[in-house]
């Protein structure tokens, strides 16, 4: 393991995401919570949070971190088919970053979804696992904050997009 003993303890955060490409039938079943194995979206959230907390047990030479927060979100696509966005955000006060915890959380959440949905859709694909942002430590914010965009013209009602449908379970405490 890399010696991080001389690094300062700072607040750090990271978010990672991946995509789970699914068919229209599976997406309908997910929206209606009618999968044969049960509530896959809640199981994915729990699996991702547990995986983020146990990253050091899975990745050799990864420092164990006392996470302050591990939150997994699953966003369903607006249309009849497409790709779910599986994201994991973690926060910690430590000497080293939490990118690996965020990546592991997102990946395992997607794997849990895959496992619970494979009887319905054998053509699912998990793609595009990546860190989307991180903060804290010597390198600061990544990606760097962008300059503010100029104000856009008001969209007409026909142009407005409702955006992705974000699954938020009930009776599930966020850590």
- For residue 157, what are the CA distances in angstroms to 32, 132, 160, 161? 28, 30, 5, 9
115 included as an active-site residue: yes
> Strand, coil or helix: what is 142?
strand
DSSP 8-state secondary structure symbol assigned to residue 129: E
Question: Which of 3, 68, 115, 161 is labelled catalytic?
Answer: 115
CA geometry: angle at 165 spanning 134 and 108, to 5°?
50
User: Is-contact 135 142, C-beta < 8 A?
Assistant: yes
User: Is-contact 86 72, C-beta < 8 A?
Assistant: yes
Q: Which two tokens stand for residue 6?
A: 């001389």
Give the residue numbers marked as catalytic: 115
């Amino acid at each position: 393991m890399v010696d991080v003993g001389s690094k300062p303890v700072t607040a750090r955060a990271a978010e990672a995401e991946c995509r789970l490409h699914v068919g229209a039938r599976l997406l309908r079943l997910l929206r209606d919570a009618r999968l044969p194995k049960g509530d896959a979206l809640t199981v994915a959230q729990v699996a991702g949070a547990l995986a983020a907390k146990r990253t050091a047990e899975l990745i050799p030479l990864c420092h164990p971190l006392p996470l302050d927060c591990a939150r997994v979100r699953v966003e369903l696509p607006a249309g009849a088919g497409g790709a779910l966005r599986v994201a994991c955000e973690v926060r910690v006060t430590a000497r080293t970053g939490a990118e690996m915890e965020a990546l592991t959380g997102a990946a395992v959440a997607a794997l849990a979804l895959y496992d619970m949905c494979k009887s319905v859709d054998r053509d699912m694909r998990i793609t595009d696992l990546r860190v989307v942002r991180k903060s804290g430590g010597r390198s600061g914010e990544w990606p760097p904050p962008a300059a503010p965009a100029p104000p856009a013209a008001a969209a007409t009602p026909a142009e407005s997009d409702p955006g992705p449908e974000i699954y938020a379970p009930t009776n599930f405490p966020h850590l």
